[in-house]
A = this chain, B = another copy of it.
Amino acid sequence: MNKLVQSITSRDQDFAQWYTDVCLKAELMDYTEAKGFIIYRPYGYSIWENIQSYLDKEFKRTGHQNVYMPMAIPESLFQKEKDHVEGFSPEVAYLTHEGDESEEKLIIRPTSEVLFCEHYRKIVSSYRDLPKKYNQWCSVVRWEKTTRPFLRGKEFLWQEGHTIHATEAEAREETLGMLEIYRKLGENLLAIPFTTGLKTEKEKFAGAIETYAIEALMHDGKALQSGTSHYFGSGFAEAFNITFQDKDNQLKHVYQTSWGVSTRLIGAVIMVHGDDEGLVLPPYVAPIQVVIIPIQSQKEVVKNASEKLYEALTSQGFRVTLDDSNRTPGWKFSEYEMKGVPLRIEIGPRDIENGVLTVSIRHSREKRQIPINQISHEIPKLLAEIHEAMYNKALKHVKDNTYVISDYQDFGPTIEKGGYIKMSVCGEEAELKVKEDHQATSRVIVDEPLLYDVCPVTGKKATQTILFARAY
């Protein structure tokens, strides 16, 4: 079919349908014949490439090295750390080959802690070998029952960092350092103000001592866990016998961390910034930052001016598309709005005559007149301005939708509005009751003094302040 620009469901009418519409119509992904598995189409994959490029530089800058571990894990290896295997068992898929049924069962990695542990055990013997700070970019398989594009799938792309250290202090520093790199990814690239914090005991990763998370608030008021950083202590090291001879000649177990973000971040970008016209992309992660649309493109003067502008912006390092296809300008406007391109520049005979171009800003739907000879100078400033405005808008959304309550009666009506609810609670008993009553979960423990002394949910002594939300 010739793709026509089709209207999408409005967000307020049906947010879930709006999300699916945007994923498909902005050509981010497509479904496949294998249920729960998706295709990352060029436009969607390109967002991931920009995230990868940013993070890979940060990982290397902070002394990490990339490796690639096999996708196959012998089942016996996977079962060595008890909490870990319990957490993942229901989701585990197997790799089989007909005729090899007698060999040991291989699982397809849902995460690779055990492979890194086994390798580290072999290659580390002295404090001189530490730390080891490895990362890998790969896909993992988890047999999810219900799936949604980018948010939950049977296979997804991610990075998983795994590090080992000689001391607890250094491992804890790594855990928090990587959390901060993720927070800055939001601040610098995705224009998403992530809330960071410790997960509760109930919500932490299978095998971790502590799990920290970055959480984002979507337009519909639901939260999305967007990345995690775990401190493992020596739990895995003991299960896998990863030891080293320390400076004091004592044989010790290493301290370990792991941390990861996935293509789920694409879902976060869509649901934080999108609007009823489709995707709205923050400029630094956008596959196309500027689209140039010639008006009366058959005219030589327009053709020349468009190409000159394209060359000028491209050579400045921007990601630019010049759409000189024979579609109508109207079709193109809708198409690139749907795709969330931050800036659109129209260029027609009259604009060239007047020496002034109209630049349309996707996120604010604002138009600006910019003299042609100042375009190269103005575009970088405009992109920075857009990034900041989008970040601030998302931050305002978080602030406007964070509620402090002290009376549990208020929980129901408040959570219906969407957003975070902050309460000081007794602990897991309150978490369980909130989940049962309102399908809301603890997102992170807030590093703030208690709001009050008595848990509004159970009437017991409050011990920690928690941000609750309904979540994806």
Contacts and interface: CB of A to CB of B under 8 A. Distances in A.
A449 interface: no
A45 B106 CA distance: 24
Contact of A70 (B39, B67, B126): B39
A31 to B, nearest CB: 10
A70 B37 contact: yes
Contact of A77 (B33, B38, B77): B33
Given A30-B119, A71-B139, A65 B93 contact: no
A141 interface: yes
Contacts of A301: none
B70 A38 contact: yes
A119 B154 contact: no
A7 interface: no
A143 interface: yes
Copy count, this protein chain: 2
A455 to B, nearest CB: 40
A41 interface: yes
Contacts of A74: 33-34
Interface residues of A, number: 56
Given A40-B68, A157-B68, A95 B1 contact: no
B94 A68 contact: no
A32 B139 contact: no
Contact of A67 (B40, B94, B95, B97): B40
Contacts of A32: 69-70, 115, 118-119
Interface in A123-137: 123, 125-126, 128, 134
Contacts of A71: 37, 71, 139, 141, 155
A195 B94 CA distance: 40
> Which of A92, A103, A128: most chain B Cβ within 10 A?
A128
Interface of A: 1-2, 30, 32-35, 37-42, 45-46, 48-49, 65-74, 77, 92-98, 100, 103, 106, 108, 115, 118-119, 122-123, 125-126, 128, 134, 138-139, 141, 143, 154-155, 157, 325
10 contacts: A34-B106, A37-B70, A39-B119, A45-B66, A46-B66, A71-B155, A72-B155, A93-B95, A94-B98, A100-B143
Given A30-B119, A32-B118, A68-B139, 14 more contacts: A34-B74, A37-B72, A38-B70, A39-B70, A45-B66, A48-B68, A49-B66, A68-B157, A70-B155, A93-B96, A94-B96, A94-B97, A108-B108, A128-B325
